[in-house]
Structure formats: structure tokens, C-alpha cells
Structure 1
Amino acid sequence: MSAPNRPRLKSIPPTPTGPRPAQQRGPRPTVGAPKGVAEGVPIAVRPDPQAGDGRYAIAWLHICAPRGAVPTATSRCECGRDRSAVGLLKVLSLITEHKNHRDACPLRNPQEGRAAA
């Protein structure tokens, strides 16, 4: 009996030692340029599309009430009011205080206009 013929092993091609020329590719198909470039206006100079209407937040009420844990809340205002509460009854009380502060806050209701009228 003779041994079966073994298939020839693949050989790895030798690594080139010198530089070789880059392969040239054809031009890429262009689908379209950005609109700002077509009009000659840089895209980065465009106005912010999300510009506000002049309103901004003055007071924040943050409530954290995970299931099975003690609820907490924080009430902050730009006028300097900063309150916090821990526990269900105190959090409910802070929510009421926050609502009442919205009506009395000097930033939301300037007092100068009322005295002049």
C-alpha cells in the first residue's frame, strides 16, 4: 500500500521590497453637493434653526420617586430660592410651595410695573 498523495501547500507571495505605483480609480459618481455649497454660502455660518422665542426657564422642580424607595424633590429658582425635601409628605408640601412660588417670584412677576400703573 502506498501513502495517499498530499495536496500541495499554498505559498505566501513574497512581500514587495520597494514602492509600487498606486492604482488609479475612475471618478466617483456624485449625487449632489450640500445646498449651502451650491449657493456659495458656507454651511457653518447659517443661523441656528432652533433659535428660541425669548423665553427661558426660571424655576425647576426635580422629583425622584423610585418604586419602593423614599421620594425626594428639589425646587430651585433663578431668584435664589433653593429648597429640598425627603419623604412623601414633605415632597407633596414642596410641590405646593413650588406652585405658590411661581405666582410670587419677582423674576416672573416684576413689581416695578405694578407700582407704575
Structure 2
Amino acid sequence: MGIFKNMFGSSEPKEEKVLPWQPLTEVSQLSDIENRSQTKTQVIFKHSTTCGISRMAMKQFVSAYDLDSNIDLYYLDLLSYRNVSNETGYKFQVIHQSPQLLVIKNGTAVAHASHGEIAEVDLGKYE
């Protein structure tokens, strides 16, 4: 039976990692993020809920995320909050991509990545 368990996985549900997401749903939050970034790194994950590539990037990000990180983490559903997504690009001078990760420090985007490059961003170096 062990060989089948190894081949097909366990029937026991895996515990999902839950990140401390803060929903980004209002344009006014962007000023708060900019202000908070003066003392603590802020990270925005722009996610398209209907895109398989975005879903894959999100899973990789969640899997690699260090729960002990000292950052504020925002989740932006860009399909539901397109105006917030657009304003995010204007405010932080980053061309829109989907999915996209923005690292905000001292009021500016110090790093950003999209698609598979999101997994390569080392958030620890921005704490």
C-alpha cells in the first residue's frame, strides 16, 4: 500500500499555508501603504483570479513565503478592483502586469516582478 500512497499521494488533506494578507480594495489604501513603507516594507500581490498562470505564481509565492517575515502583505484582486490596480501602477511608477508583485519601501517600488519571476524575488533582502 505504501507504494500507491507515494505514487498517488495521501488521501489525508494537506494543511494549507495561510498568509497574513490584507485586502487591497480602495485607492485610498495606497497612501497608507506609501506612508507605512517609511518604517516597514510593504508588498502588493496583484492577482488575476481567472488566470492559470496567476494561480500558479500565487501558489509558488505562498509556498515560498516565510511566515516570520517582517512585512505587510497586500492582496489585490485586479479583476474586482481594476481602478485600484491602475492607480497602483501610477502611484508607484510600475507598468501593469498580471500577476505582479511590488515591493514598496520608503515610498517607492524598490522591486517588482511578474509571472514566473515573482518566485525569484527575495523578500528578505528588503526587510
Q: TM-score, normalised by structure 1?
A: 0.30
Answer 1 or 2: which has greater helix percent.
2
- The structure whose residues are more often strand, as a share, is 2
User: RCO (CA 8 Å, sep 6+): is it higher in 1 or 2?
Assistant: 2
